[in-house]
């Protein structure tokens, strides 16, 4: 016998195959990016987080509302004189309704489920004003008032709704954490916020700032 199977040289085909496999593995290694857990490139960090979004956006929204908001008497008079012009001057359209900023000082009336009536001097008879103080804050006024947080920037409707909820929670944490709702009735408060004008004679304000005087 001239040799055994174990002493045979690899065939040319096997050598080429081995070289190809090594080259492929090398290319895969070069194309593989190691992402550190918790870094900005971690997909878990990239997933939409409504609370992080709210904490980032609320200070800007608070400032926008404060800069735009007319006092309640001025706004009520403007709406009574020319609703369309008042909306164009002060408001932001969100779907079929206008979101209006406002600031006021008023006396707190009775409340239920964290929503309190307010009596504001100088307003026309028949205008009802209420403010929601939580713990749960509903509505999308704070999301919509700036006019630049658009549905197209989000993956779907759920994410868009969650963005509004995240802003509301950020506001509540910033403004309402120390508010004593049990003793609020009868006190005077200064409120700056926004409301959706579904009924011009009934304003339910979501605050961006509330101060008990």
Q: To the nearest whole percent, how much of the chain has pLDDT over 90?
A: 77
Number of domains present in the structure of the chain: 1
What tokens appear for 65 in the block? 């509302």
Has residue 43 been placed in a domain? no
Please report which residue ranges of the chain form alpha helices under DSSP H. Answer: 12-31, 43-46, 50-68, 72-81, 83-90, 141-144, 157-175
Residues 22-74: pLDDT tens digits? 666 655 555 544 545 445 554 445 799 999 999 999 999 999 999 999 999 99
Has residue 177 been placed in a domain? yes
Has residue 156 been placed in a domain? yes
Residues 169-179: pLDDT tens digits? 999 999 999 99
What tokens appear for 66 in the block? 């404060």
CB-side neighbour CA atoms (13 Å) of 172: 17
What does the alpha-carbon distance between residue 42 and residue 61 come to, in Å, rounded to a whole number? 28
Nearest C-alpha neighbor of 50 from the set 174, 147, 143:
143
Q: Give the CATH number of the domain where residue 186 resides.
A: 2.40.50.420
90 or 11: which leads in pLDDT: 90
pTM of the model: 0.78
User: Could you tell me the residue range of the domain that residue 126 belongs to?
Assistant: 48-212
Confidence grade of residue 19 (pLDDT, cut at 50, 70, 90): confident
Has residue 10 been placed in a domain? no
Residues 195-209: pLDDT tens digits? 999 999 999 999 999
Residue for token pair 């005087």: 213
Q: Checking phi first, is residue 66 left (phi over 0); if not, alpha (psi -120 to 50) or beta?
A: alpha
Has residue 18 been placed in a domain? no
Has residue 33 been placed in a domain? no
Residues 76-133: pLDDT tens digits? 999 999 999 999 999 999 989 999 999 999 999 999 999 999 999 999 999 999 999 9
Has residue 179 been placed in a domain? yes
Contact (Cβ atoms closer than 8 angstroms) between residue 196 and residue 117: no
Has residue 16 been placed in a domain? no
């Amino acid at each position: 016998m001239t040799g055994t199977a174990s002493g045979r040289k690899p065939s040319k085909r096997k050598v080429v195959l081995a070289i190809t496999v090594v080259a492929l593995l090398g290319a895969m290694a070069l194309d593989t990016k190691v992402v550190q857990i918790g870094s900005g490139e971690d997909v878990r960090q990239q997933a939409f987080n409504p609370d992080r979004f709210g904490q980032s956006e609320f200070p800007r929204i608070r400032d926008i509302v404060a800069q735009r908001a007319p006092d309640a008497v001025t706004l009520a008079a403007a709406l009574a004189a020319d609703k369309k012009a008042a909306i164009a001057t002060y408001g932001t359209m969100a779907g079929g309704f206008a979101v209006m900023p406002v600031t006021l000082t008023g006396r707190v009336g009775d409340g239920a489920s964290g929503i309190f009536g307010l009596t504001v001097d100088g307003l026309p008879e028949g205008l009802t004003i209420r403010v929601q103080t939580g713990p749960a804050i509903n509505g999308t006024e704070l999301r919509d008032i700036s006019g630049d947080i658009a549905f197209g920037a989000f993956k779907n409707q759920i994410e868009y709704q969650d963005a509004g909820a995240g802003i509301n929670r950020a506001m509540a944490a910033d403004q309402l954490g120390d508010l004593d709702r049990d003793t609020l009735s009868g006190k005077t408060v200064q409120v700056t916020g926004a409301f959706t004008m579904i009924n011009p004679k009934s304003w339910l304000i979501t605050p961006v700032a509330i101060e008990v005087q």
